[in-house]
Amino acid sequence: MDNENGFSLQFEIKGSNFGSAGKVSTEIKEILQEIGIDPSIIRRAAIATYEAEMNVVMYANRGTLSLTVTPKNLHIRLDDEGSGIEDINLAMQEGYSTATDEMREMGFGAGMGLPNIKKNSDEFKISSVPGKGTSLEIIFNLNQAERA
């Protein structure tokens, strides 16, 4: 992914680590601000990466998030190792969630995670192998948007 014009970084996310949940999305937001991405795109990217990060924390053992920024787009890829998703269509429905009661009590698991990522991104792909893990690909276009 890393090429002449691009900048890539990788972040490791641990499952069940609620204490540092949100760190990756904050770091990504700061990087995008330094580069000078439009604030409205940063906001969408912050929401999408946060939801993606939380999915790993809540449902997977571990995950790797790679961010690549080129003058054309932001490309975020997330691969996790975990239980995977049995029925992707169902998981993409708003309100559907397999969160435990404890997670819900903490305000998570409203069944908005994946739909929210899709809603906020320009391109969104998901694939999953039950019992192995899930992969997300999230893209934000930069070329049409005005620069900050």
User: In degrees to the nearest 10, what's the CA dihedral of 89, 86, 58, 112?
Assistant: 10
Residues 68 to 127: which contact other proteins by CB under 8 A? 69-71, 107, 116
Output the smallest distance, CB 122 to other proteins, in A.
Answer: 17
Tell me which of 13, 24, 28, 46 binds other proteins, using CB under 8 A.
46
Q: From CA 71, how far away is CA 100, in angstroms rounded?
A: 41
DSSP-assigned states of every residue in 34-77: HHT--HHHHHHHHHHHHHHHHHHHHHEEEEEEEEEE-SSEEEEE
Residue (59 or 84) nearer to other proteins, CB: 59
Q: From CA 18, how far away is CA 57, in angstroms rounded?
A: 7
Output the smallest distance, CB 34 to other proteins, in A.
Answer: 6
Region of 24-32, 87-95, 97-105, 123-131 interacting with other proteins (CB under 8 A): 24-32
Tell me which of 11, 14, 15, 31 binds other proteins, using CB under 8 A.
31
Q: From CA 100, how far away is CA 102, in angstroms rounded?
A: 5
Binding site for other proteins (CB under 8 A): 5-7, 9, 22, 25-26, 29, 31, 33-36, 39-40, 42-43, 46-47, 50, 69-71, 107, 116, 142, 147-148
